[in-house]
Amino acid sequence: MVNKKEAAMKAWVERASKELGAPPGKIIYTATDLDGLDWLDDLPGEPPYIRGPRATMYAGRPWTIRQYAGFSTAEESNGFYRKLLAGGQKGLSVAFDLPTHRGYDSDAPEAGDDVGMAGVAIDGVEDMKILFDGIPLDRMSVSMTMNGAVLPVLAAFIVAGREQGVADAALSGTIQNDVLKEFMVRNTYIYPPGPSMRIVSDIISYTAANMPKYNSVSISGYHIHEAGGSLVQELAFTLADGLEYVRAAIGRGLDVDDFAPRLSFFFAVGTDFFREAAKLRAARLLWSRLMEKNFSPGNPRSLALRTHCQTSGVSLAAQDPTNNIVRTAYEAMSAVLGGTQSLHTNAFDEALALPSEASARVARNTQLILQHETGVTDVVDPLAGSYYVESLTSDLAQGAEKLIAEIEQMGGMTEAIRTGWPKLQIEKSALQTQARVDRGEDVIVGVNRYRAETETEIDILKVDNKVVREGQIARLEKTRSSRNDARVARALDALRLAAREESGNLLELSIEAMTARASLGEVSFALEEVYTRHQVQPELLSGVYAKANEGDAGFETLRGDIGRFAVEEGKKPHLLVAKLGQDGHDRGARVIASAFADLGFEIEVGPLFDTPEAAARQAVQTGAHAIGVSTLAGAHGSMVPALVSALKDQGGEDIVIVCGGVIPPQDREGLKAHGVAAIYGPGTHVQAAAEDVLALIRASLHRNR
């Protein structure tokens, strides 16, 4: 006998089928979707913490507004921080420039054009003291996104605190210290995986013993998301990284309850509103289960996942950029409904340049409006019990569990990373997403649909790299001339010895070196002499973009045209994809390289952290028709002209140069005046770009015959 609920559902399906013209997919959720879920009656503040790590959540204390900021010099950033704090921000989150991330002092040849461009330049304790001048470090929580040069940066922060009169135990905040994800996606590593894990565990050990308010690791899914990973991949790879860090710390002799309560996480929140909120709930559920299963902690707080969130950078579009304000607001709401402990909201102009003071204010006020005007802080976990959200939570948790099980079978995340498997999965996901956007299946308002007729002009922040670098070098020279060189040498020798003999604590020894006024680059190089600097040979992923475009007429037409070029010229159109300077973010470069290869181009991918001279030499020696420069960090204004000059010096002046990435409109005419043939910003249709590059190559060949 059919009961009333079954009869009602059958009638609904009939009505829905008529309205849709076909049987409906999964567009309705009911109580039956919650069957078997064992957490529905759980309370916040109790394991498995699915409803939040604190009992009262925002009803007791709102999330921390923590804007990620830093640019140019320590003086400039300090002034910016003071304005943010005066405007209602509750915590600081420091963005460092690329040479700092990669362990180079500002006067190093490798640093050059990147100094101060994508964050604040920090060469030592004196810079760190200026950065926090007038900001009481015993009362301000400071988060620092640092992985590669984590030892000298954290050491400099600790010394700056001590010289401000603040004991280590009074410092609060977070150091990212999540190097495993660097090998997967972000690439601001310095040392190989093994030594890098030693550094992570030494920091966990030191902070557990001396800094009870400090989060020793921020296990980051954000960069996995930004590199194109799916929600399930972001969840699984992040938590698998977390398991690896816990095992490393236990391997150094720590009890799990000595450090696990101070571990923190960091997730991206994109525009998939309900799934992103469910992702955070699934993360707490899974982490509690994994910690209990693998380590059986005695302290229930060791099971609790606490997280910072940041709205998605990859969702920001250069086209019609004020739309990004709306995107960020929805993403922020999703993060809050998911139960984040702190939040950064991106500025709307970040697809064009560093955020301006005005755009940063809008981003901060987005959070203030959420806290004070929407009512989201009135109750705990308002999405709890939703048929849809609880089902999504379960689905995401199950998908991530399967991936984590695969990683465990490989021997854990360090071993999985050595095989390259996680990076490959993320890259596949990124290419599949790009194909959907190119075909218009994933709608991006103002990019692939509803495009504005005129381009919106945005005032952007400009950094004078030359002035910043000169100032940094002057401070370095002053510090070196006034320090005790013998004390510095002894401290660096002790650091080398500890690295070589697996003795001592590397953070403790780095603190001694920074106290003596060793520079960031000197500490990093001392370890590099023992550990070496990690290098990766780029590999090209083939077939994924082509498979995602099977049956697409435009794709096949373009591939045919590229094939005709190969017949006419006796070789395929040849593109070298180059990453210049210290920027390791390579999603765009790898997507372009793989997609163009699937279309029929001959593709070479240059090494990360390349120089203009080396890129020019590779292009000339391999007979490239064109060089595609991928840039995100602002150094294009000097590096691309240097590339043009190097090509001329090496007889490659006929090679076409195109640029892609974050390039402000104000910079484009200058680049074109130096000989850049075309510029492609975020949101560019890949096939349209390929067609354009093919035409530019044809035109160049025709001119030079």
The residues annotated with a catalytic role in the active site are 68, 222-223, 579, 583, 585
CA torsion, ordered 399, 400, 406, 412, to nearest 10 deg: 180
Q: The dihedral of CA 95, 98, 104, 109: what is its sign?
A: negative
SS3 523: helix
DSSP element (H, E) containing 658: strand 656-661
Query: Are the C-beta atoms of 658 and 627 separated by less than 8 Å?
Result: yes
Distance CA 610, CA 615 (A): 7
Helices (H) and strands (E) in the chain — how many of each? 28, 14
Task: Report the distance separating Cα 337 and Cα 376, nearest Å.
Answer: 8
Q: CA distances (Å), 698 to each of 101, 149, 615, 705, in order?
A: 40, 45, 22, 11
What is the amino acid identity at position 257?
Answer: D
Given a contact cutoff of 8 angstroms between Cβ atoms, the answer to whether 279 and 234 are in contact is yes
Q: 673 exposed, middle or buried (CB, 10 Å; 0-12, 13-18, 19+)?
A: exposed
CA distance 249 to 505: 13
- Please state, as a whole number, how many other Cβ atoms lie within 10 Å of the Cβ of residue 342: 24
* Helix boundaries (H) for 40-137: 57-60, 74-86, 98-101, 125-131
- In sequence order, the β-bridge partners of residue 250 are none
